[in-house]
Amino acid sequence: MTSLTPAAELAARQNRPYPNDSAEYRQARVALLAEEIELRRHIERVAAQRRALPPGGVVPDYDFCDENGETVKLADMFGPHDTLITYFWMYGPQRERPCPMCTAFLGALDTPSKDLMQRVAVAVIGRSPVSRQLAFARERGWRHLRFYQCIGDDFPHDYRGLAPDGSEWPALDVWTRQAAQVRHFWASELGGTEDPGQDARGAPDPTPLWNILDLTPAGRGADWYPKLEYG
């Protein structure tokens, strides 16, 4: 195993002041950089641990509807790949408009999904008809995401997109396929893992919106959420 240079040493090597930096600022920034390096290494360790998960459960035989009105299975969403990423978004038939935070996540996923689909399949699943999902996607200018409607509520019930009281919850999942068998590989398991004072969030949170705001002095804030439209 390769021995890593201590994070504090790497950070100290990178200590090149910007114009008019104070000594106090540089000292604090170098200390922070060391923590950021450690965080990156921790994320990479977690990713390796995730890749080493044993096989997940075999997926039941759910039905979905694609944009052509055809009934398909989860296995059909893989295309030529052996890995599928799905996002169940909060846009059921009872909703006049989709969840703004689901929209923020999917908006950030649309463009890179063209790159992602070179290695894995990507699909968005909702409870509304595909035509309704696509109409909103076109309104937002999304071009690359593929949408499906779950037929019935067994799938969102089983994979935590729908609570017993009927309320929707976003669900990010990864699936694998070997021959005709599809297994559940990983889920974000969102909700219930947040610390005191935090809104529900993934661990780690994949949403670019929140990660970029975390770079700013005010952070995410306690009372701001994305909207579908701004005045």
CATH number, domain containing residue 175: 3.40.30.10
Mark whether 148 and 180 lie in a shared domain: yes
Query: Rounded distance, CA 86 to CA 124, Å?
Result: 6
Q: Is residue 175 part of a domain?
A: yes
Q: Are residues 37 and 82 in the same domain?
A: no
Do 84 and 149 lie in one domain? The reply is: yes
Integer Cα distance of 127 and 64 in angstroms: 10
Query: Are 82 and 157 in a shared domain?
Result: yes
* Whether the model pTM is above 0.75: yes
Q: Residue 231: its pLDDT value, please?
A: 86
What pLDDT, on the 0 to 100 scale, is given for residue 66? 98
Same-domain check for residues 32 and 130? no
What pLDDT is stored for residue 193 in this prediction? 83
What pLDDT, on a 0 to 100 scale, did the predictor assign at position 143? Answer: 97
Number of domains in the chain: 2
What pLDDT is attached to residue 1?
65
- Same domain, residue pair 72 and 182: yes
39 shares its domain with 95:
no
Is 73 found in the same domain as 42? no
State whether 68 and 181 are in the same domain.
yes
Residues of the domain holding 166: 64-187
* pLDDT-flagged residues of the chain (< 50): none
Whether residue 111 sits in one domain with residue 40: no
Beta strands in 61-209 (DSSP E): 64-65, 71-72, 83-88, 121-126, 147-150, 171-178, 181-187
Provide, for the chain, the percentages of residues in helix, strand and coil under a 3-state DSSP scheme, each rounded to the nearest 5.
Answer: 35, 15, 50
